[in-house]
Structure 1
Amino acid sequence: MNFISSVPPPFILNCWKHHFQFLKINSAIPFEEIKKGIVQIGESQMDIYVGNLSPVEICNEIEILLSHQFKINLFNYLQWLMSEGKGFRLIEISDGSCWTLRFGEDPLNFIHLHPGRKSPLTIRVKAQVLKIALLAISLNEIEELNTNKINHLRKEYLNLPPVKSIKDDGAVLNLIKLFK
């Protein structure tokens, strides 16, 4: 399994950070594989696409939109990307979601995709919240999830300090509800 992306070149999309349906499907994989995926999530907050389009469908739509503007290759993409002087561009696809396009440093996967911040069909999540939710689901700890269970996950797998109350980590409970 490719833990960063399940999309074709020239795209790169870290589905562990940015695609909810990918996460939902992969939350059922063996625990050791979940741990490998969690490493790809990083430490900051991220926007996660919660719409119905698959990663490949998103890339196909963006590829069509870009191909109407230029022949897709590394040089043309960089020129287009830098044309507004920001180093990134936003593009809207058929379901109304917006995607941020950046430069991917791999010469074969140079179109780096992220869901747009505050875009329709996205949620903003802290990395530790996503990691704890995935661990809880993978370890079948979601029934009667309590402060002790969350603190065990935080300490045992993520080396994070405990929370005083499950209410302090309410975002985990909200995210787990989305997975159900």
Structure 2
Amino acid sequence: MVVEWIPRKSTNEQPQQPLTQLKAVVFYTDPLLKPTPIPILFNPLKHHLAALQHMLLQSEPSEIQQKLLALGNSQMDMYAGELDTTVIFNEVRNWLQERGIYERAAYAAFLVQQHGYATVVLTDTSRWILRMAADQQLYIHLHPGRYSPHTFRVKATALKTALAYRVAERHRLLMGDLLRDLNVLRKDLQLSPLRSTAESSHIMEIIDLLRRTGSEEI
């Protein structure tokens, strides 16, 4: 395994690539949210698209709305690549162990030297940010880098609408009028209605990305 550390001062953010250029998400059928012995604090429902879809697939339709509401309303960086959470965690752990900074004290001292965070490049070229978590046991706070390869930056409101649409589509609950269907779903999610289909273009890009998965079930 080869991973690379990019020092904080040399990290340059690049414009986000169009969602149509993202490789189709691989849908993982193995449980993605199982406990891990690696002390990483990571929110897969906000940062790992396959894990989020897996959660929705395992949920009853009546549970979907509440779970989507839990995503909040802020922007998030969502990873849509082929690495599952186990692979990501293992690569991060190996990178830290190779440098002798896996234990909490050494990790904390390292981040102080790097002004609070470092960036790790994984085997698929995606960039991940390491910070210090307040949790005493899960002290490695991990999230995707902004504008990293295989990620997209998205408003939670657009993502929730797109996910709700895919679930409704899967259960054949749509009426066929795009604007009406989206606004019915947005009302259930406590979101303001769209005034025209032109406002839904970004949502439809996300829906298209969700459709390009390795599973026909969602």
Confirm or deny a common fold (TM above 0.5): yes
1:22 offset after TM fit, Å? 1.3
* Pairing 1:172–2:203 present: yes
Q: Kindly tell me: are residues 154 and 124 of structure 1, through their superposed partners in 2, closer, same or farther at Cα, counting changes over 3 Å?
A: same
What residue number does 2:78 align with? 48
Partner residue in 2 for 1:11? 40
Count of residue pairs the alignment pairs up: 177
C-alpha distance in structure 2 between counterparts of 1:24 and 1:32, whole Å: 16
Question: Could you say which residue in structure 2 is the equivalent of 1:23?
Answer: 52
1:3 deviates by 10
Contact 1:100–1:115 (CA under 8 A) maintained in structure 2: yes
The answer for unaligned runs of 5 or more in structure 1 is: none
User: For residue 34 of structure 1, what is the amino acid of its counterpart?
Assistant: I
Q: State how far apart, in whole Å, the 2-side matches of 1:109 and 1:178 are.
A: 32
Task: Pick closer, same or farther for the CA change 1:105–1:51 going to 2, 3 Å.
Answer: same
Q: Which amino acid aligns with 1:148?
A: R
> Could you say what secondary structure the match of 1:27 adopts?
helix
Asked whether the 8 Å contact 2:32–2:84 carries over to 1, the reply is no
SS at match of 1:139: helix
Per the alignment, residue 35 of structure 1 pairs with 65
Alignment of 1:7-156 (within 5 A): 7-28=36-57, 29-85=59-115, 87-140=116-169, 141=173, 144=176, 146-156=178-188
Contact 1:15 1:23 (8 Å CA) reproduced: yes
TM-score (norm 2): 0.73
- 1:71 Cα deviation after fit: 4.4
How far residue 7 of structure 1 moved from its aligned partner, in angstroms, is: 4.6
1:69 partner amino acid = R
Deviations 1:83-140, CA, capped at 9 Å, x for gaps: 121x211111111100011122211111111111111111111100111112122233
Q: CA deviation at 1:5?
A: 7.6
Per-residue CA deviations over 1:133-157 (Å, capped at 9, x if unaligned) read 1212223356846111111121222
> Residues 48-69 of structure 1: CA distance to partner in whole angstroms, max 9, x if unpaired?
1111110110010010001111
- Percent of aligned positions that are identical: 32
Higher RCO, 1 or 2 (CA under 8 Å, sep at least 6)? Answer: 2
- Report which stretch shifted further, 3-12 or 76-85: 3-12
Matched residue SS, 1:164: coil
Q: CA RMSD in A?
A: 2.3
Describe the SS at the equivalent of 2:128: strand
Moved more, 54-63 or 68-77: 68-77
Look up the SS of the partner of 1:108 in the other structure: coil
Q: TM-score, normalised by structure 1?
A: 0.87
